[in-house]
Structure 1
Amino acid sequence: MALLEVNGLGISFGGLRAVDDFTINIEKGMLYGLIGPNGAGKTTVFNMLTGVYRPNNGTIKLDGENLVGKSPAQICQTGVARTFQNIRLFKKMTVLDNVKVALHNETKYSLWTSMFRLPGYFKKEKEMDQRALDILAVFGLEGQAQVMASNLPYGQQRKLEIARALATNPKLLLLDEPAAGMNPNETAELMETIKLVRDKFDVTILLIEHDMKLVAGICEYLTVLNFGTELASGTPDVVLHDPAVVTAYLGE
């Protein structure tokens, strides 16, 4: 059984069919790419997978559990985390605290313990600090732990958003254009980091990306969307040379 099973997914906004009959199966541990021209429906798919939109039809299962109808918070607790095309950090919080916010998803202490700063509070906070630093170290950000998120360079903000998503301990990590706005050197570094994340955290990754060099360099399988429907699926070397895919990206 695949980790993620999506069958016949569709959604309409008014009279516009934004996504139609979308089907995808992703095995545990895969690094899978969802690509397509602007407006193809890629982010809409992410929004349905994470509960932001409820599909009009179709099914979404993670490890056999139905996700349709669950709230974004419930889906996160089930094991799905995401980043966004436009960075959404807590910019007036430190790098460390951005990650610790996500760790509260699984670290608990009572209101009483928190209010009166009982020993259990300091123990849990120390554990979260170390866990957050361990995650930041994967991205080379442990040295910026006390820096305000707004003061990080753009490329590091992108990495911090991925680090925060990983702190929820997901089974499936959705990356929405992780290399957007990065220069070639930053993109090359990010490619290696994403591979490391997949292996170190034993997480399955589905990403949206327009940088074809990144897609070809790290994705094991691709699905191409165009006008909300599947145009092609297969390995990168086959899909990226498909005449229909080339036409969709470049025009006639």
Structure 2
Amino acid sequence: MALLEVKNLGISFGGLRAVDNVNLNIDKGQLYGLIGPNGAGKTTIFNLLTGVYRPTDGTIKIDGVNIVGKSPSEICQAGIARTFQNIRLFKKMSVLDNVKTALHNQMKYPLVTSFIRLPGYFKAEKEMNEKAMEILKVFDLDGQADYLASNLPYGKQRKLEIARGLATNPKLLLLDEPAAGMNPNETAELMETIRLVRDHYQITILLIEHDMKLVTGICEKLLVLNFGTELAAGTPEEVLNNPEVITAYLGE
């Protein structure tokens, strides 16, 4: 069974059909790319998958469970986490605390325990610190754990946002243009990090990206959108040699 099954997905905004009859099957542990020209509907699909928008039609299943109609928080608990094209860190909090904010929903202790600092609170805080540092180490950010997030270089802020998404313990991690604004060296480092995250945590990753070197370097399959509809799907080699994709996406 595929981890993510999307069937006949569509959404209309008034008279505008933004996404129409999109189908997507992603197996567990797969690195999958969603590509297409600007305005093709890629981020709209991410918003549908995470409950920001409710589809006009179609189904979205994670591990066989239909999540259409659930709230973003319920969908996060079901196992879908995302990053954003524009970085949305808590800039005035430390790197460590940014990751810990995503761990709080996994800590199970009564509210009164935190108010009066009972032993359970300190135990949970210790566990969160250890877990957060473990995640930061994967991203080579453990040495900057006490830095303000705003003081990190741009490339490391990007990595921190992915680390925070990973801290929600997702089954499926959605990355929205993770290499946006990065230089080639940062992009190459990010590629290795994404592979490491997938392999180390055994999670599934779906990403939107315009950097074709990154897409072809790490993605095992691609879906190409154009004007909200499927244009092509398959391996990177198959897709990027498709004449329709070359015309619509590469502008040739």
Same fold at TM > 0.5: yes
Output one character per residue of 1:58-109: Cα deviation in whole Å (capped at 9) or x when no partner: 0000001111000000000000000001011111111000000000121122
Q: Which residue of 1 aligns with 2:158?
A: 158
Output one character per residue of 1:144-174: Cα deviation in whole Å (capped at 9) or x when no partner: 1111111111100000000000000000000
Deviation of the 1:110 alpha carbon? 1.4
> Do residues 202 (structure 1) and 202 (structure 2) align?
yes
Deviation of the 1:233 alpha carbon? 0.4
Q: Which residue of 2 aligns with 1:98?
A: 98
Deviation of the 1:127 alpha carbon? 0.7
Aligned partner of 2:242: which letter? D
**Unpaired runs of at least 5, structure 2:** none
For residues 8-19 of structure 1, the aligned pairs below 5 Å read 8-19=8-19
Q: Which residue of 1 aligns with 2:222?
A: 222
Cα distance in 2, alignment partners of residues 9 and 243 from structure 1? 25
For the residue of structure 2 that corresponds to 1:105, the secondary structure is helix
Cα distance in 1, alignment partners of residues 112 and 188 from structure 2? 47
Deviation of the 1:178 alpha carbon? 0.4
Which shows bigger deviation, 24-33 or 239-248? Answer: 239-248
For the residue of structure 2 that corresponds to 1:90, the secondary structure is coil
TM-score normalised according to structure 2 size: 0.99
Q: Which residue of 2 aligns with 1:190?
A: 190
Q: Which residue of 1 aligns with 2:36?
A: 36
Aligned partner of 1:144: which letter? Q
TM-score normalised according to structure 1 size: 0.99
Q: Which residue of 1 aligns with 2:175?
A: 175
> RMSD between aligned alpha carbons?
0.7
Q: Which residue of 1 aligns with 2:133?
A: 133
Cα distance in 1, alignment partners of residues 109 and 180 from structure 2? 38
Cα distance in 1, alignment partners of residues 146 and 13 from structure 2? 43
Aligned residues: 252
Deviation of the 1:238 alpha carbon? 1.1
Q: Which residue of 2 aligns with 1:117?
A: 117
**Unpaired runs of at least 5, structure 1:** none
Aligned partner of 1:15: which letter? G
Aligned partner of 2:4: which letter? L
Q: Which residue of 1 aligns with 2:49?
A: 49
Percent identical: 78
Q: Which residue of 1 aligns with 2:64?
A: 64
Q: Which residue of 2 aligns with 1:241?
A: 241
For the residue of structure 1 that corresponds to 2:47, the secondary structure is helix
For the residue of structure 2 that corresponds to 1:194, the secondary structure is helix
Cα distance in 2, alignment partners of residues 98 and 62 from structure 1? 26
For the residue of structure 2 that corresponds to 1:162, the secondary structure is helix
For the residue of structure 1 that corresponds to 2:190, the secondary structure is helix
Cα distance in 2, alignment partners of residues 18 and 113 from structure 1? 47
For the residue of structure 1 that corresponds to 2:90, the secondary structure is coil
Output one character per residue of 1:185-216: Cα deviation in whole Å (capped at 9) or x when no partner: 00000001000000101100000000000000
For the residue of structure 2 that corresponds to 1:225, the secondary structure is strand
